[in-house]
Amino acid sequence: MQLIIDVGNTRVKTAIFDDDVMVAKKVMALPQFVENLGGFVAAYPVKKAIISSVGRLSKEQARSVQLRFPTLLLSHTTSLPFINDYGTPETLGVDRMALVAAFAKAYPGKNGLIIDAGTCITYDFINAEGHYKGGAISPGIRLRYTSLHNLTANLPLLETHMPEQIVGDSTEMAIHSGVMVGVVKEIDGIIDQYKRDFGVDTVILTGGDTETLSKRLKNSIFAHSNFLMEGLNYILRRTND
């Protein structure tokens, strides 16, 4: 079995895979990661682990995993199941590497666009020949709400809400329309352009805001809530396969 660890800025997502099947999943607060990990893995015969960190995982926290299991720390030097044509591969986020790896396994021979809707919205394009070309990084939903509040004098900080109409008849509804309708139109517009310019025929939507957004997009997408974890598992399995 494989232990998958995906470190964000405040939370750590962990999972146990038996070959390609996820058998357990747990989200932990980053400060309590070490003390929570032992109880999570105790019931499973874990043979190896992978750590993907875009957050502030300390050397001590990483070492606590390395002392228990053979551990792969994902980086731009890791062997990947696609050809990386990114101009600055050392700056490519490990989360984006994992998403492209998941696509390469699940949809070989397809022109694909992977959209990860989380703190940021990332767009990643891999062609049918298995070449990763790059993509885009955009502010995510909560980042947009927070920026409107923090960078203006009078706009309130609101909870996420999908409006029923585009015309906001109050300041709050105008903010909801600007953020939520704006995100939906952005994603649909980018999908349309990738289809038109690059023949994209498979679009993946993943990340924390998948459920909120998937119902409003006009384009056909495949929603995969565990796509990143599956990509990390694939990268790890390839180290010995």
Going from N- to C-terminal start, the domains of the chain cover: 2-73, 83-232
Three-class DSSP category at 75: coil
Q: Which helix (H) or strand (E) holds 138?
A: strand 131-139
Question: Looking at domain 83-232, what is its CATH homologous superfamily?
Answer: ATPase, nucleotide binding domain (3.30.420.40)
What is residue 10's predicted lDDT score, i.e. its pLDDT?
75
What is residue 111's predicted lDDT score, i.e. its pLDDT?
97
| Residue pLDDT, tens place only, 26-58 | 998 888 888 888 889 888 999 999 999 987 888
Residue carrying structure tokens 């015309």: 167
48, burial (CB in 10 Å: exposed 0-12, middle 13-18, buried 19+): middle
Share of the chain above pLDDT 90, in %: 77
Polymer length of the chain = 241
Q: Which helix (H) or strand (E) holds 233?
A: helix 227-238
Question: Looking at domain 2-73, what is its CATH homologous superfamily?
Answer: ATPase, nucleotide binding domain (3.30.420.40)
Cα 152–Cα 154–Cα 159 angle in degrees, nearest 5: 90
> Given 6, 20, 95, 188, which residue is catalytic?
95
178: left (phi over 0), alpha (psi -120 to 50) or beta: alpha
Band of the pLDDT at 241, cuts 50, 70, 90?
low
Cα 194–Cα 198–Cα 200 angle in degrees, nearest 5: 65
Q: How much is the mean pLDDT over the chain?
A: 93
What is residue 101's predicted lDDT score, i.e. its pLDDT?
97
| Residue pLDDT, tens place only, 66-125 | 999 999 999 999 999 999 999 999 999 999 999 999 999 999 999 999 999 988 999 999
Q: Could you report how far apart the first and last alpha carbons of the chain are, in Å?
A: 13
| Residue pLDDT, tens place only, 153-204 | 999 999 999 999 999 999 999 999 999 999 999 999 999 999 999 999 999 9
Task: Specify the pairing of strand 48-53 against strand 2-7.
Answer: parallel
Equal CATH topology for 2-73 and 83-232 = yes
Q: Is position 95 annotated as part of the catalytic site?
A: yes
